[in-house]
Structure 1
Amino acid sequence: PFSGIVGAGQAVRIMTGASIPQGADTIVVQEVVRRSDDRVFVPAGQKKGQNLRRAGEDLAEGGVALAAGRRCGPAELGLIASLGIAEVDVYRPLRVAFFSTGDEIASIGRPLCPGEVYDSNRYTLFGALSRLGCDLIDMGVIPDRPDALEAAFRDASEAADVIITSGGVSVGEADFIREMMARMGEVAFWKLAIKPGRPMAFGRIRNAVLFGLPGNPVAVMVTYFQFVQDALLKLMGVTPLPPAQRFAVQAAFSLRKQPGRTEYLRGRLQHDGSACSVALAGAQGSGVLSSMSEADCFVVLPDDCLSVQPGDTVYVQPFHGLL
């Protein structure tokens, strides 16, 4: 590196990222200058102080680089490294045990017997939980027998911080999850005023937090992304929680709705060059998982909404950043 002093009317060639020599106050990129022997011709239009990166312009001395509770993504890891810090204290990954329940649920990889359906919920949850960086304990499919469920809850509560189940929380004769929660721990609530996803249980089994999700595939996704994901982030130490992204668009569909519950429809945003609107993404049944795959947003209808007509204003929650 140049160790002298740059005087008025003088220039020194340095490499990108090098320290500025004493006396210099401006950088001109070499692509725009012309050299002739020991003279440099600089074009007009240069500004004093251009292209400099001054000490402290990124972070001031004594300032906070990353507050506690911040998730470490690519930018945060790079920022930590730029400060020369080799190690930081972090929360350990959250341990999450999850399983599906039901005698009618079959694991993939074998032919279905009469009355069976393949287990999609475990794979949905696996994908969602993997994105959060949780340590996962996949416990498979648990049959509708009290002894099998009790053993699964006991094992899960000993190994995990959080237990997530799908199925077994409605009012069917063989829906044992709520009963087991009450006997082995506590039930905080087991119904929500939403559609889909009304039968959702929350409570504890011993020291583990338990989320009992519905059995219908779309209801699993709605309850997970609207309620469970933020709770998991909180348990992971994330503060503050990222705000829900919602914005208003015009409806490109008509629908009648019962009052008293919030509904989450699957929609697809469209733009005609002047305005943004949303159409429904296929059939809206709670078992129609293809509607989630085809959609790019939730259409959120509040509990006091009675109907929607084309052109009405509705609020959407984009999947980007959520799913």
Structure 2
Amino acid sequence: MSSRPPLRSLDDALDDLLGRAAALGATEEVATFDADGRVLAEDLVSALQVPPHDNSSMDGYAVRLAEIADEGVPLPVSQRIAAGQPAQPLQPGTAARIFTGAPVPAGADAIVMQEDTELADGVVRILRVPDAGQWIRRSGEDVTRGAVVLRQGQRLGPAACGLAAGIGRDRVRVARRPRVALFSTGDELVMPGTVPPDQMRPGAIYNSNRFFLRRLLARCGCEVTDLGIVPDRREATVEAMRGAAVDHDLILTSGGVSVGEEDHVKPAVQALGSLDLWQIAMKPGKPFAHGRIGDAHFIGLPGNPVSSFVTFLLLVRPFLLRLQGAQRVLPAPLLLPAHFDWPRPDRRREFLRVARNAQGGLDLFANQSSGVLTSTVWADGLLDNPPGQAIAHGDLVRFLPFAELDA
């Protein structure tokens, strides 16, 4: 009897998977309004300074510092400057009424905020001597002309879209969305809404994986074709795979890649292309498969819902981002204290479902079973625990927030 191959570390499996994720290459131009979540396919270089001119960060008065030796100095108001209006040079011995965002007049070197002044009959008294440059935003302090403000391979978020707009870009070039075919296998699966809970046949379960995988794919910027539930028959599985491989970049399934007689995904992929079955030293999520059918990648996730959820976040999501040319595919972990004990660790690397508490630490969900999807809803992230590492209350541990893993 041949021995089983050794378990692969998660880092090794991820490196291998990312090495197979050649960028799709195709790009498209989209409106900056619609670029959230897309991967930039070009460097964005600013053709202007941001802000374009020195401007006030407060409502108040623009003054010459040399003319304010002491508190209580009175200065006649010589002009009023609102945002979007041109400013005249500041006349000697006067102050200019100025509003937030308005250009600072030539000759002024400080802004006194409104609360530190008194105005009467067109004369303002300066109640507090300002510092040089006070409340002045300098031209180019945000972006200088010629600077690369966003780089190719960066995944755009709301702030990045705003920054692109701030340098005048109403459209940006981004990587094409990966096209993903998603289907489920298993005659035990039932779609919610088709059978009431009290009429479910023995052994049947509702198909929860299909729901969260479809949304996770969409959040990765994919175009998803949902092929539904494929019957547990070899011919049906082969035909579904063959059709999906024609115009998709990835075929994604959960379950059905074991060696059981009713698991037809494995022989179907092998009949049409190539398949590697990996046993990864992680918990949950040990079984994982990658293959190719023509030009399409195939990834088979474990069937247990938490295993499927976690392996998607840690393996499939980085793979899909790399297909789009993204450079950063996983967040850096946060170091936070564990507010629980974990005295019996697994030999595999564990990803425990935890939630941050009001004291700044992490609480543990009581049931860490790979079938308890409730744990992923209660939690707000994963604790990345090394193999064989016991945890005592107060130990610093590595925390991966869902906010960065499923966005």
User: Quick check: TM above 0.5?
Assistant: yes
Give the match's secondary structure for 2:97. Answer: coil
Instruction: Select the residue among 91, 99, 103 that pairs with 1:7.
Output: 91
Structure 1: where are the runs of 5+ without partners? none
Give the match's secondary structure for 2:400. Answer: strand
1:266 alignment partner in structure 2:
353
Q: CA RMSD in A?
A: 2.2
2:187 alignment partner in structure 1:
103
Call closer, same or farther: CA 1:248–1:13 in 2, change over 3 Å: closer
Decide which moves more: 248-257 or 8-17. Answer: 248-257
Does 2:369 align with 1:285?
A: yes
Aligned partners of 2:173, 2:314: CA distance in 1, in Å?
Answer: 29
1:256 alignment partner in structure 2:
344
Does 2:260 align with 1:177?
A: no
- CA contact under 8 A between 1:97 and 1:156: conserved in structure 2? yes
1:321 alignment partner in structure 2:
404
2:112 alignment partner in structure 1:
28
Decide which moves more: 233-242 or 69-78. Answer: 233-242
Superposition pairs of residues 161-310 of structure 1, within 5 angstroms:
161-250=249-338, 252-259=340-347, 261-270=348-357, 272=359, 277-305=361-389, 307-308=390-391, 310=393
- Write the letter of the residue equivalent to 1:32: D
Aligned partners of 2:113, 2:392: CA distance in 1, in Å?
Answer: 59
Decide which moves more: 30-39 or 208-217. Answer: 30-39
- Write the letter of the residue equivalent to 2:189: I
Structure 2: where are the runs of 5+ without partners? 1-84
- Write the letter of the residue equivalent to 1:209: H
Call closer, same or farther: CA 1:262–1:83 in 2, change over 3 Å: same
Larger RCO (CA under 8 A, 6+ residues apart): 2
- Write the letter of the residue equivalent to 1:317: L
1:122 alignment partner in structure 2:
210
Shift, 1:123, TM fit = 0.5
- CA contact under 8 A between 1:105 and 1:118: conserved in structure 2? yes
**Aligned-pair identity (%):** 41
Shift, 1:309, TM fit = 5.2
Give the match's secondary structure for 2:274. Answer: strand
Superposition pairs of residues 69-88 of structure 1, within 5 angstroms:
69-88=153-172
- Write the letter of the residue equivalent to 1:50: Q
Call closer, same or farther: CA 1:30–1:183 in 2, change over 3 Å: same
1:61 alignment partner in structure 2:
145
1:19-66 deviation line (CA, Å, top 9, x unaligned): 222222222233432222231112214222122222211112221111
Call closer, same or farther: CA 1:36–1:254 in 2, change over 3 Å: closer
- CA contact under 8 A between 1:98 and 1:139: conserved in structure 2? yes
Shift, 1:216, TM fit = 0.6
Call closer, same or farther: CA 1:179–1:251 in 2, change over 3 Å: farther
Aligned partners of 1:15, 1:320: CA distance in 2, in Å?
Answer: 38
1:151 alignment partner in structure 2:
239
Decide which moves more: 248-257 or 136-145. Answer: 248-257
Q: Matched residue pairs, number?
A: 318
Shift, 1:105, TM fit = 0.8
2:222 alignment partner in structure 1:
134
1:40 alignment partner in structure 2:
124
Aligned partners of 2:331, 2:192: CA distance in 1, in Å?
Answer: 36
- Write the letter of the residue equivalent to 2:218: S
- Write the letter of the residue equivalent to 1:292: T
Give the match's secondary structure for 1:200. Answer: strand
2:62 alignment partner in structure 1:
none
1:16 alignment partner in structure 2:
100
Aligned partners of 2:203, 2:301: CA distance in 1, in Å?
Answer: 22
Aligned partners of 1:248, 1:30: CA distance in 2, in Å?
Answer: 43
Decide which moves more: 230-239 or 279-288. Answer: 279-288
